[in-house]
Amino acid sequence: MALAKAHRGVVRWVTSSGHWQTRSVIEELAEIGITVVSRWIFNCYVIHDGGAGVPVVVDLGLASHVDVVAAELARLGVGLEGLHVVATHGHADHLGGVPELGRRAEPTLSLPATLSAMAEGSLPLRSPGPRDVVRIAPVLGDQPRDLGALGELVGAARRIGFDSRGLRLPDLPTGWLADGDPLHRAPDWKVIHTPGHTDDSISLYRASTRTLISGDAVLSVGGRAWFNPEMVDRDRSEQTERLLRRLDVEHLLPGHGRVVRGAVMREALSFEERPPDTSAVATLRRIFRRHG
């Protein structure tokens, strides 16, 4: 793994050689104690200390995230063994790195409690379809493209996550997360059930730093939060939007898109709105423009 570029000592590019050629974007958010690890639109978050003195990883979506997370943990003075991983919902792009981590260590894993009912068959496995996914095309141009990440995700989806074909969980999680729960090993963080994109979706909120890890309940595009128009349930998406707009959020860490700071919820786009300049031509131009 080699350092490829530095920017103001905060954002850096890291390249690594493996099954996939990867170029991860690492962003240190020292003021809130979080490191962002991104490959294209696939964001993973390392919480340095959620109040219990140990780091927690949220949305380990790609196998290639594991090397970068391991390097970040080493900087914090800890290893992969016993690492606690949380997924904001059961899609492969939020769980895809878990099998690779499991091959290298013995992590613990917490998943949304609603997913347990889906696993038992008492709730249907509803997942957005291709027409729904097209709605979030503007987000694709907001982060440096990395087509290898898509190939990696396709492979991961055969082993873990859920979609209309069924649910794939290699191992049962060590814990389930319900609305209002403190996050295991990070009790400063509160679990909020935020369905709409999927029935099992959760977000994580830390009031002391006014930080929201939104999963796919809220995305970002063009420097603004955008409540996700890719959904399985419009009514529940409306409820989630009303709920999250009441939060005091200064740092939004979305499942897809760049981190947003400031008066996040006041300036957020509703899922019914479209970001400006979202024509197909404009979106393709942003995706394939050169990122330095």
CATH number (domain holding residue 56): 3.60.15.10
Contacts of 236 (CB under 8 A, 6+ apart): 195, 196, 199
Residues facing residue 28 across a β-bridge: 35
Residue 268 is encoded by which pair of tokens?
A: 């957020």
Which is more confidently placed, 84 or 279?
84
Least confident segment among 82-86, 87-91, 133-137: 133-137
What is the structure's pLDDT at 145?
84
Confidence of residue 227 (pLDDT cuts 50, 70, 90): very high
Residue 215 CA to residue 276 CA, distance in Å, equals 23
Domain range enclosing 45:
2-288
- φ/ψ (deg, to 5) at 259: -60, 140
Q: Assign 3-class secondary structure to 22-74.
A: EEEEEEEECCCCEEEEEECCEEEEEECCCCCCCCEEECCCCCCHHHHHHHHHH
Give the C-alpha distances (Å, rounded to integers) separating 272 from 228, 237, 238, 269. 9, 10, 10, 8
**Mean pLDDT, range 71-85, rounded to an integer:** 93
Among residues 225, 236, 234, the alpha carbon closest in space to that of 275 is found at 225
50 closest CA partner among 207, 181, 185, 177: 185
pLDDT, tens digit, 9 for 90 and up, residues 169-201: 877 788 999 999 999 999 999 999 999 999 999
Domain count for the chain: 1
42/285 Cα distance (integer angstroms): 20
For the cut 70, the answer to whether the pLDDT of residue 281 exceeds it is: no
Whole-structure pTM value: 0.90
Mean pLDDT, residues 95-100 taken together: 95
- Average pLDDT over every residue of 31-47: 96
Band of residue 22 on the pLDDT scale cut at 50, 70, 90: low
**Which of 182, 173, 252, 267 has the alpha carbon at shortest distance from 217?**
252
Query: Tokens standing for 84?
Result: 């606690």
